Every structure is written in structure tokens, then in C-alpha cells.
Amino acid sequence: MKFLDLSSQYQSIKKEIDKAIKRVLEGNQFIGGDEVKEFEKEIAKFCGVKYALSMNSGTDALFLSLKALGIGFGDEVLTTPFTFISTAEVIANCNAKPVFVDIDPKTFNINPSKIEEYLKAKSYKLKAKAIIPVHLFGQMADMDKIIIIAKKYKLYIVEDAAQAIGATQKFKIQNSKFKIRSAGTVGDLGCFSFFPSKNLGAYGDGGMVVTNNEKLAEKIRLLKNHGSSPKEKYLNLILGANSRLDTIQAAILLVKLKYLEKWSKVRAKKAALYTYQLSKFKELITPSIASGHTHIFHQYTIRVKKNLRDKLSKYLLSQGIPTMIYYPIPLHLQPAFKYLGYKKGDFPEAEKASEEVISLPIYPELSKKDQDYIIQKLKEFSL
Ligand SMILES: *Cc1c(COP(=O)(O)O)cnc(C)c1O
């Protein structure tokens, strides 16, 4: 059994994928071909936003989003320490300062009241310019609260939706009515990754920024292509980067996007089966879906007590079941961020999560037989 089996997904759509790749190879438009524009259009439609700008990675989507907002030296950007390195790395690479805020232990996402706590304490001299909430494992952070805080303190929001394409949250609007909004479309800018293991994965690197803001969209379109004028060749208006999505990846992603909703539903079904079977064991804490949210289960991550977690992962491996730890070291304790001066104990919930989490295999092609076997072995361990 594999933790993630990408080859079975390829086999299920091989004909379409092969045809799409062949079309690009024969078309000879390897950069900026029709498929790139088409894919941007389809992502904008899928998310319900005006603009979608393809990138060569999720990391660059985040990086150029901050650049487009003018984040730089002397600015602070708030984010969670319980995420992949990219989220905070891009802040530092803009010469700004990452400021970490602890998480909600139930959802693993940034805790809005901790954001407000920090901002209140610093409000006499606020250097914070933006928040990057991360929609970890496939569930949106509590954006309902985060947008209110961002408005109050005049902060931009860049959503790290790398793991959450298609996840939704209900928002209260007037007269006790609700509106449903999807990951990436709530903040000023939203960022996706098409890293192969993501729910919508390319066969290489890829990313996307989505927004409803025309000015920001234009700025990002410039930034991702060396600041080159769209009208005149070799006229460079600003300094940018080379961060375009390859035509071949766009063609592959166009095929896969058609299946994304179906795949997300299958993931949610498999997650529901895990939760139904495992939630009665008090050693195992199954994932919680916050009220008003949908979860696309990029990862199915349970918690087990610190001293049991490594035992469990070893036991499962001995039974032929691979698992993963996302993430074993919270970012404030990473050697790369030593210069920020954080220490152990600063973010107790993030630290506790990093000692207790374990992610189980979950992907649309995971067979019923394999999942039943995983459940059986978890039960044997828990009894
Ligand atoms: C995957 C991921 C990224 C980075 O995306 P890449 O496409 O690998 O650069 C950023 N943030 C989170 C939370 C991710 O999971």
C-alpha cells in the first residue's frame, strides 16, 4: 500500500491526459499557449472570481501576491506556525518579518482571537500589513472572523489555499442570510498549488493566484513575467520574476479539473468512513469539521497522545501501512527561523499538534479493501 498512489489516478484518465500532452507537443507553444489561458478561465469559473493568474508554483503564487501588495522591509505579516515552510518563507523573502500566531487545536488553523490579541497589544505602533491564513489539510480557516479583524486593523489577506481548492465556508450576511464562499476567494488574493500530491496536482510544479481586484491582477500578471509590457516586446515596466505555468501542465490540469469535484466527494466519503469507525476510540481524535464548513480532506489527520504517536506510526508501517507527519516541527522552531527569536513554549497548541498528528492514506483511488484494512489495524492498536 502507498501513502498516495498517483499512478492509479493516471491510469483512470490516461487516454485524455496522453491526448492533451500530445496536442501540446505537436502545437509547439510550450510557454503561454492556449491551454494556459483556458485553464485560467476555468479556475476563475470554478472559484467564482474575476481573475486567475497561473504561476509556476504555489510558493511563487504566495511570494508574488505579497510583492503585488507592496509588502517589504519593516512590514510584519501574521501567519500560523503550523504549516508548510513556504507560507512563512515567502514573507522573509520579501524582506518582511513573519509573525506567528497560535492555532485552534480543533481545526489546526490559525486562531482568530490570537490574531486580535497580538494586534491589540501592538496597536500603538502597528507594523502588521497582512495576514496569511492557511486552509490546512483541506478546511478553510475561520475567515468569517478573520475578515472582520483584517478590516478593523486595515490588513490585507492573502489566503494560502494550497491544500484547499474547492473547500467552502458559509458567511453570515444581512438579515440572518448566508453566503457560501470558497477557499481563495475571501481575501484580497488567494493562492493555490498544483504540486503533484495536491488534490488538483500537475505532473510537475504549478500554482495560481485568484482575485477580484483588477489592479492586483494586473500587477501580478506583470510580476510573473519579468514586468514585461503586454503591449511592447522587451519593454520592462517593473522588476518581476519568471513564474509562468508551462503549457503542458495547464493541459494536464484542464483534464484533471473536470474530475476535481468528484474526487473531493470521494475523499469526503472516505473521511466519513474513517471518522465513523475510529471516533469511538478515545486514544484517537478524529478531525473536526467546523460548523458551516466543507472539508476536502487533502489530508486525513488524526491526533494521538504524544508518546503513542510514534509507536502507532511504527506499528502501522510494520503492517504495511505508510503514514505521514504533517508537520513534525512548527515553523517558529525551525533552524531557518532561529533569527526571529522564538522559543519552545511560545505556541503551545502548534507544538502539541506537531507531536500528536498523524495523517492516514486518503485519496480517491484508495480501495475499500485497503481502507478497511487500515481501520482494522488502527482498532487492533487501540484495543
Ligand atoms: C504545497 C503548499 C505550498 C507550496 O506550494 P508549491 O506549489 O509546492 O510551491 C504552500 N503552502 C502550503 C500550505 C502547501 O501545502
User: Is the CB of residue 46 less than 8 Å from the CB of residue 263?
Assistant: no
Which of 55, 59, 80, 296 to mutate to test ligand 1, by most ligand atoms within 8 A of the CB atom?
A: 59
In the chain, domain spans: 6-257, 260-382
pLDDT band of residue 13 (cuts 50, 70, 90) is very high
- Of ligand 1's atoms, which has the minimum distance to the CA of residue 207? 7
| Cα of 310 from ligand 1 centre, angstroms | 25
Q: Running DSSP on this structure, what letter comes out for residue 82?
A: S
Specify the pLDDT at position 173.
81
**Residue 302's beta-bridge partner residues?**
358
Which of 160, 165, 246 to mutate to test ligand 1, by most ligand atoms within 8 A of the CB atom?
A: 160
Place of cell 502539541: 352
- The mean per-residue pLDDT over the stretch 123-132 comes to 91
Q: What's the chain's average pLDDT?
A: 96
Cell for 26?
A: 505537436
| Cα of 283 from ligand 1 centre, angstroms | 30
pLDDT band of residue 148 (cuts 50, 70, 90) is very high
6-257 maps to which CATH number? 3.40.640.10
- Of ligand 1's atoms, which has the minimum distance to the CA of residue 136? 13
CA dihedral 181, 57, 1, 369 (to 10 degrees): 20
- The mean per-residue pLDDT over the stretch 275-289 comes to 94
260-382 maps to which CATH number? 3.90.1150.10
| Cα of 30 from ligand 1 centre, angstroms | 24
User: Is the CB of residue 130 less than 8 Å from the CB of residue 158?
Assistant: yes
Per cent of the chain over pLDDT 90 is: 94
Specify the pLDDT at position 64.
98
Instruction: List pLDDT tens digits, range 29-55.
Output: 999 999 999 999 999 999 999 999 999
| Cα of 326 from ligand 1 centre, angstroms | 12
User: Is the CB of residue 230 less than 8 Å from the CB of residue 237?
Assistant: no
Place of cell 490588513: 155
Helix, strand or coil, per DSSP, at residue 77: strand
| Cα of 145 from ligand 1 centre, angstroms | 24
Instruction: Indicate left, alpha or beta for 298 from its phi (over 0: left) and psi (-120 to 50: alpha).
Output: alpha
CA–CA distance, 278 with 282 (Å, rounded to integer) = 9
Cell for 256?
A: 484533471
CA-closest candidate to residue 245, choices 112, 52, 25: 52
Helix, strand or coil, per DSSP, at residue 321: coil
Produce one character per residue of 300-324: b if its CB has 16 or more CB atoms within 10 Å, e if not.
bbbbbeeebbeebbebbeeeebebb
Cell for 214?
A: 483588477
CA–CA distance, 316 with 309 (Å, rounded to integer) = 11
pLDDT at 333 over 90: yes
- The mean per-residue pLDDT over the stretch 352-369 comes to 97
- The mean per-residue pLDDT over the stretch 79-88 comes to 98
Place of cell 500532452: 21
Q: Give residue ranges with CB within 6 A of ligand 1.
A: 57-59, 83-84, 86-87, 134, 160, 162-163, 193, 195, 205, 207
- The mean per-residue pLDDT over the stretch 362-368 comes to 96
pLDDT band of residue 307 (cuts 50, 70, 90) is confident
pLDDT band of residue 14 (cuts 50, 70, 90) is very high
| Cα of 193 from ligand 1 centre, angstroms | 6
pLDDT at 383 over 80: no
Burial of 252 (0-12, 13-18, 19+ CB in 10 A): buried
Helix, strand or coil, per DSSP, at residue 306: helix
User: Beta strand 76-79 with 128-132: parallel, antiparallel or unpaired?
Assistant: parallel
Specify the pLDDT at position 368.
96
CA–CA distance, 338 with 340 (Å, rounded to integer) = 5
Instruction: List pLDDT tens digits, range 163-200.
Output: 999 999 999 887 788 999 999 999 999 999 999 999 99
User: Is the CB of residue 133 less than 8 Å from the CB of residue 160?
Assistant: yes
The H or E element spanning position 179 is: strand 177-182
User: Beta strand 177-182 with 168-173: parallel, antiparallel or unpaired?
Assistant: antiparallel
